[in-house]
Each structure stands twice: as structure tokens, then as C-alpha cells.
Copies of this chain bind each other. A is one copy, B any other.
Amino acid sequence: MSDATPKKTALVVSAHSADFVWRAGGAIALHSRLGYQVHVVCLSFGERGESAKLWRKGEMTEQRVKASRREEAQAAAEILGASIEFFDLGDYPLRADKEALFRLADVFRQVQPHFVLTHSLKDPYNYDHPLATHLTQEARIIAQAEGYRPGEPIVGAPPVYLFEPHQPEQCEWKPDVLLDITEVWDKKYRAIQCMAGQEHLWEYYTRVAQQRGVQAKRNVGITSSKNIIYGEGYQSIFPRVTGELA
């Protein structure tokens, strides 16, 4: 690739440090393989709400939980082929002030993503998730504004895809994109295995991938030659602009 061809990029915003693995690990590995630079922002470590196994070990402090979660997330990101950074905003509850918003807008400006992945719009089981979504959406809007840090290159209108929540129907999440992740499934499953503290979810998310794989095959049509086994579902926020249907 010559210098004249800028690399394609993607941005993933994860409320807690493991969310991007369960929910978007396939998309990350796949686009990394396709030559994208994928960058992950973890808003928190999920140190309070998603580290039950660690806390039950005893002799634990918030700092030690965070350190452990950071290591797991970094290992997973490396397997998937993504860079990663941590905002450490705290969880349960996650809260974001203007400073955090601008920090994320600045990441948008630096990354100039071709697409964005984040959480669902609603989740009655987890209030941090939709907060991450809304923060991402507002940061994207600010990064588009000429008057925010005038003179800097603004971002375009990258599509935003919402990844699958734990109980999709309860979150009013409906996938309109099914991504074939069959050829990178091994990587996703290796990344999942980095999450030592949440082993009870490994098989759950394997089955999610299998179900979305079967559904993807159904929506391609039975006469297709594609052999899809694993999939990930996404819900789009914005209309897709295209020059060809089908």
C-alpha cells in the first residue's frame, strides 16, 4: 500500500473492558484482516459490575481488579489485531462529563473512522451500555462540527453499528446486518478465552455466534455457495448510502 492510499480505520467504543470481545470481536478480527486499523476505547474497566469472579477471590481492591481487567482486555485486543486505550471513567454507574465527551471527540478526529461500533440504544439490565452509546453518538457529532477546535480536520459521517446486547429482545435491539465471521472465529474464541473472570459466558457467546451464523445463511438464501457458520448481528443507526442494491 502506498502512502497515497490512507488506511481504512474503525472505532469501537466499549462501556466496560470486555464488552468489545463478546459483542464485536469477530468484526474487529475480520476488518483487521481486511487491512483496517481498528481502535478500541474502553470507557471503564467494568471493575464493579462485571468482575464478580475476581471480587469473590477475596483480598481484592478496586485497583487490583482494574489491573487484571486491563491485562485481559489488552491480550484480547492483541489477538484481534486492534489498538486499545482506557478512559477509566468508572462503572456502575458510568458517568461522562464534558471533558470525557471532548476526549472521545478527539479520538474520532484522530482515528477518522470509516465505521463505528458501540452498544445498543436501550438495556434495562445495564445502564452503562446505553450511556456509552449516547456518548459515542454525541462525540461523533461534535467531531463533525467545524467550530469544535477550528482548523482541525473534521470527521465525515461514518456509519454507526450497534452490537448485540445480552438479551436482545429486552433491549429492543433488532439486527439489520449479519456479519459473516466464520473465517476469524478461531481468533474471536481465543480472545474470549482471555476473559478468565467471566468463563460462564464463553459458551453463551459461542452459541450466539452459531445462531447468528445460521440466520445469516438463511438470509443469503439456500442456493448460495457461502458456508457461513459463525456470525455477528448489528443494528444500523443511519441509512446506508449505496450505488447498488443486493
Interface string of A184-228 (1 = CB under 8 A from B): 000000000000000000011001101100111011111110001
Chain multiplicity (copies): 6
Q: Flag if A142 contacts B92 (CB, 8 Å).
A: yes
The residue from B65, B95, B245 contacting A27, defined by CB atoms under 8 A apart: B245
Chain B, residue nearest A148 (CB): B48
Given contacts A49-B141, A49-B142, A52-B145, 20 further A-B contacts (CB under 8 A): A8-B246, A30-B244, A31-B244, A48-B146, A51-B146, A62-B147, A92-B142, A95-B98, A124-B238, A127-B141, A157-B220, A158-B246, A159-B245, A176-B236, A177-B240, A179-B242, A204-B211, A207-B207, A207-B210, A215-B239
A223 and B115 contact, Cβ closer than 8 Å, known pairs A147-B65, A239-B176: no
Interface string of A42-55 (1 = CB under 8 A from B): 00000111011001
Q: Flag if B156 contacts A222 (CB, 8 Å).
A: yes
A143 to chain B, nearest CB (A): 10
A245 and B177 contact, Cβ closer than 8 Å, known pairs A141-B92, A156-B220: yes
Which residues does chain B contribute within 8 Å of A246, judged by CB atoms?
A: 8, 10, 114-115, 158-159
Interface string of A27-47 (1 = CB under 8 A from B): 100110010000000000001
A22 to chain B, nearest CB (A): 13
Q: Does A237 contact B (CB under 8 A)?
A: yes
Q: Flag if B177 contacts A221 (CB, 8 Å).
A: no
Q: Does A155 contact B (CB under 8 A)?
A: yes
Which residues does chain B contribute within 8 Å of A110, judged by CB atoms?
A: none
The residue from B48, B173, B234 contacting A147, defined by CB atoms under 8 A apart: B48
Which residues does chain B contribute within 8 Å of A146, judged by CB atoms?
A: 48, 51-52, 55-56
